[in-house]
Amino acid sequence: MRRAVSIAPVSHRLKAPFRISRGVKTAAEVVVVQVDEDGLTGRGESVPYARYGETVDSVLAQLQPAAQAWRDGAAPHETLAALPAGAARNALDCALWDLRAKREGLSVEALTALPVPESLVTAVTVSLDAPEAMAAAARAVAAAPLIKVKLSAEDPAARLLAVARAAPDARLIVDPNEGWDFAILDGLRPILSDLNIALVEQPLPAGEDAALDGYDPPYPICADESVHVAADLAALRGRYRAVNLKLDKAGGLSEALLMLEEARNHGFILMVGCMVASSLAIAPALHLAGSCAFADLDGPWWLAADHPGGARVADGRLARPRPGFWGDGITATGLWL
């Protein structure tokens, strides 16, 4: 058995600055893992996230012992065992799923029994900016059925109304990224109730969820930063009606599949989300999308250039990558340039 692992940082330039309440980025800084076994290759990508204390360097360092365990012949579950939930485990876990599909000659779709839609509605994001700039961005994507609106505590009503007026036919996901307190959230209830709101995502800082006990507005409140793994879900009942499943938080597709089942058991509305990343990070998440009410998988749409053969987003609809891109049980040719 011949095994190898390569781990590399990759920077993808964005087509425009991406702003949220915590800051702005102009590039997607990701980590790509490639695992090789007897001539077969699996790939995975993750996004180190400062909110969770991660950097590219910290993720690269986390992956070194696991990579050595793989070279030394460890089974996949043993290779992953020492890694906590987060970006490092996500990249390696997804690479191992891709490799397994090739080794067994079966797609990840078949292995999980979760159909991947050929196309689906994805939220497209209007990032935080002045109201006039957000309105212009919303007009440019007004044909999209679902728009995510990034907000902060600074004048959220004006920004939200600017987007809603510019894209009157779209449903809106409102996402302050933990940037509000309960007074802001409740104060906006009349405006939010009048708009076509699909979800209000993580309005309060994680750890302040108790303020939502018994709060029941006419739109679902969705947990994002407050939920990482399946074990987090039970504590969210009575506070959130929806949860956002992200592979980078969960630590890969394996844990996300457990979360999917557990969240269903608790009766949560489900959304699958992503960080700003390439199609290599989005392809595994698509295996959750068919089971979720909402998808927020526009990460590659923000890139100046994505991988050839990757997912394509147009007018708020995402088409899955071409066969052979990831997890199809076949070896791709000409897709990785």
Kind of pairing between the strands at 269-272 and 294-295: parallel
Distance CA 83, CA 97 (A): 16
In this prediction, residue 335 carries a pLDDT of 41
Q: Give residue 1's pLDDT.
A: 79
Task: List pLDDT tens digits, range 225-235.
Answer: 999 999 999 99
**25 tagged catalytic:** no
What tokens were used for 186? Answer: 């409740």
| 53: three-class secondary structure by DSSP | coil
Q: How confident is the model at residue 334 (pLDDT cuts 50, 70, 90)?
A: very low
Provide the mean pLDDT of the chain: 95
Question: What one-letter code names the amino acid at 182?
Answer: F
10 Å Cβ neighbour count for 65? Answer: 12
Cα-based distances in Å from 217 to 32, 153, 241, 335: 41, 19, 10, 46
Tokens 């018994």 — which residue? Answer: 214
* Residue partners of 3: CB distance under 8 A and separation at least 6: 35, 36, 37, 38, 70, 71, 73
| Chain position carrying tokens 């007026």 | 165
Total-model pTM: 0.94
192, 220 Cβ separation under 8 angstroms: no
Mean of pLDDT values over 29-41: 97
Q: Where are the domains of the chain?
A: 3-106, 119-319
Please tell me which residue in 102, 148, 246, 249 is annotated as part of the active site.
246
Distances (CA, A) of 137 to 108, 142, 163, 187, 190: 36, 9, 8, 26, 25
Determine contact, residues 284/326, Cβ cutoff 8 Å.
Answer: yes
In 3D space, the residue among 310, 313, 309 whose CA is nearest the CA of residue 297 turns out to be 313
3 state DSSP class of 300: helix
Alpha-carbon gap, residue 282 to 318, rounded angstroms: 10
Poorest-confidence range of 20-29, 39-48, 183-192?
A: 20-29
How does pLDDT run across 132-186, given as a tens digit for each residue?
A: 999 999 999 999 999 999 999 999 999 999 999 999 999 999 999 999 999 999 9
Residue 333 has a pLDDT of 43
Place of tokens 């779709």: 109
| Residue of 15, 25, 148, 150 marked catalytic | 150
In sequence order, which residues have a C-beta less than 8 Å from that of residue 81 and are 6 or more positions away? none
Backbone torsion region of residue 3, taken as left when φ is above 0, otherwise alpha when ψ lies between -120 and 50, otherwise beta? beta
Question: Rounded to whole angstroms, how far apart are CA atoms 314 and 293?
Answer: 19
- Buried b / exposed e over 267-285, threshold 16 CB at 10 Å, is ebbbbbbbbbbbbbbbbbb
- Name the pLDDT band for 22 (thresholds 50, 70, 90): confident
Architecture in CATH for domain 119-319: Alpha-Beta Barrel (3.20)
C-alpha span between 199 and 166 (Å, rounded):
19
Tens of pLDDT, residues 244-286? 999 999 999 999 999 999 999 999 999 999 999 999 999 999 9
- pLDDT range class, residue 71, cuts 50, 70, 90: very high
The DSSP letter of residue 117 is: P
CATH number 3.30.390.10 is the correct assignment for the domain at 3-106: yes
